[in-house]
Amino acid sequence: MDPRAGTLAQPSDLVDLDALLSAYHDREPDLDDPGQRVVFGTSGHRGSSLDGAFNEAHIVAITAAIVEYRRGQGTDGPLFIGRDTHALSEPSFTTALEVLAAAGVEVHVDARDSWTPTPAVSLAILTHNGAATGAGVRTQGPGLADGIVVTPSHNPPRDGGFKYNPPHGGPAGSDATGWIADRANEILRTGWRNVPRVSIQQALAADTTRRHDYLTSYVDDLANVVDLDAIRSAGVRIGADPLGGASVEYWGAIGERYGLDLTVVNPHVDPRWAFMTLDWDGKIRMDCSSPYAMASLLERMQPGPDGRAPFDIATGNDADADRHGIVTPDAGLMNPNHYLAVAIAYLYGGARPGWPAGTAIGKTLVSSSLIDRVAAALDRRLLEVPVGFKWFVPGLIDGSVGFGGEESAGASFLRTDGTVWTTDKDGILPALLASEILATTGKSPSQHHAELVDRFGESFYARVDAAATREQKATLAALSPEQVTATELAGEPITAKLTRAPGNDASIGGLKVTTENAWFAARPSGTEDVYKIYAESFISPEHLAQVQEAAKDVVSQALQP
């Protein structure tokens, strides 16, 4: 923990924008360094121009690879593209548009020449491909749309990000990202400067470049997913903090369009994020699930002279608005797992009668087991999948999954009629749902969580990192249950050893071990020489610490040659 965590950033913490942008154009990657090659994680390619990991060469190569990939897949409709407020997002957006226009791809850019949240791009893709028409979303055939979102999500200001969304509107699967990354690295090796491009002026004037009103399309459609009339009628006072991200103009438009008592508490956009408080490690990170990054909003929620907080519900989003943070006057910032459980209990407990009775609950296997207990009480099927929102895409498209959520504060759910809304994470949607919950039940989400604790028990959850070499990480990712010889965990018999997800039998790229009252999951980091240990106990914080220590022992034994 950095001693300045939760305090306002100082000038020395801020990125040098001139150096960052100059490096984007001037520095070329060294392909002998694995850290400077194109690598797609669960949310696209990320890195910093200052490290030679996110430069003009990368974006030219990735965009050219996407052009080839979509042609190979027969995707010949428009490509919807959006960007967030990171400094590297605008030049990489420009580079991509120059390559796409030269390739003759029909590209739909934001009509306001402004920022576009990830869920607005997903919605645009799905709408073009047939969502909300009654006929369902098409993912095969002529004329299909796909998209690119230029964002590193909640990463620090020095980073850039670039991700591809196929015609299903959600994050691309490993088959797509693997092909794109391999082809992009080949282009880097053989000469990225040979990729055809036009000037940005020519690209913007091209017949293939169209304008799309992402904001109006998204805001007008929200009434089909959240009960905004109930929020307005109840007079819920909402404080929305975009954390300097792409949702900054959307929140004001939502308040105006639906007559809500909504205040955008921080309308400022600064690619240095000078107004942010430092995260746990002393870095500027727009993580709306972190109490340190959200310290300013938490301070603003303190009661006034009349004893009331200024807002009934306060919310935060990350830079591309695909994550949510929920703040209530009685509990402060909610743990993401706690809010996911509350949202699930509310949505499946009668708030969405238009959803089919067999609609499943989707969770990643590192999310809280409180969700499992809620699902069992609701008598609903639980779909437990590996880490990554892409695993929820098929179920959200066909309506067999009503809600998909990740422990990292990412979620989306169906329209009120049971059809698909977005297949990528939507941070604005669950933030608004918190106000709907308060409006229709008279209780805050944190009060609902307290009721769940009374019913199912209190859980203690944390994630820690442990050192691991590259070879050990590869071994961990390829473990089999038979390699785990332990029979108990922190004093309880082990009930399951999992290397594949129960919900879809997909590899989890690590290990999960469960007991009656606890579990841990260990996964290798894709960017650092560590592995991540997620753990939860329904007994006590002390027992959680025992689970974490036992997890390290279990993994260490399994990694022995």
Residue numbers annotated as active site? 153
d(CA 186, CA 64): 11
The two structure tokens encoding residue 126: 């799905």
Strands of the 261-264 sheet, one edge to the other = 261-264, 237-241, 313-317, 324-328, 332-333
DSSP string, 429-447: HHHHHHHHHHHHHSS-HHH
The three-state secondary structure class of 551 is helix
Strands of the 401-406 sheet, one edge to the other = 382-385, 360-364, 401-406, 410-413
d(CA 102, CA 521): 46
Element (H, E) at 366: none
CB 380 within 8 A of CB 435: no
d(CA 143, CA 464): 46
d(CA 365, CA 199): 46
The Cα-based distances of 126 to 130, 185, 295, 459 in angstroms read 6, 30, 36, 37
d(CA 34, CA 511): 26
Instruction: List the Cα angle 380/385/386 in 5-degree steps.
Output: 160
Which residues are paired to 462 by β-bridges?
Answer: 535
CB 533 within 8 A of CB 464: yes
d(CA 387, CA 402): 18
Q: Comparing C-alpha atoms, which of 552, 153, 527, 438 is closest to residue 318?
A: 153
CA 388 to chain centre: 9
DSSP state of 349: I
d(CA 470, CA 528): 9
Residue entry with tokens 């003759």: 104
Question: Where are the alpha helices (H) located in 272-427, listed in sequence order?
Answer: 295-300, 336-346, 370-378, 393-398
Element (H, E) at 467: strand 460-467
What is the end-to-end Cα distance of the chain in Å, rounded?
A: 33
